[in-house]
Structure 1
C-alpha cells in the first residue's frame, strides 16, 4: 500500500504507520470458521496489490488514482 495512504489511515485510526504495518503483516486467521460450518476448508489467497483490491472493489479510476497518489492531498 502506498505510504501516504497508510499515513492517512493510521491518522484516522489514531494509530501509527508502524503499528498499522505490523497489524497488516500478520497472517490471516479465519476466526469465523469456529462459528460457521462450511463444506470446504477456507483457503488463504495469495497477496494482491492494493491497486488490484481497489479494482476488484469497483473503485472508479479517479478516486483510485487519489488513493494511490504519493502525495497527501489533505495538506
Structure 2
C-alpha cells in the first residue's frame, strides 16, 4: 500500500488504500476483511501517491505518480 485515507464523516466507517499498481481499495472497517470495492484507474498503472476524501465523505480523490501527475475523482 502506498496511501491511506479514512472517511472524515464520523458515522462512515470506510477507509481507502492506494496500491503500487494504481488500484484503490475501499474497506468498511466494521465489515469483512476483504475490500468492499476496488477502484481501477483505467490506463493509469502507476502508484497512488495520495488519497483524500471530500469533507462530506461522498467523493474520493487519488493522485498518481505518473508522467501527467494524474488526479482521479470517484463518487463513492
Name the TM-score class by shorter chain. Answer: under 0.3
Q: RCO (CA 8 Å, sep 6+): is it higher in 1 or 2? A: 1
TM-score where L is the length of structure 2 = 0.27
Please identify which structure carries the higher helix content.
1
- Give 1 or 2: higher strand fraction: 2
For normalisation by structure 1, the TM-score amounts to: 0.27
Rg larger in structure: 1
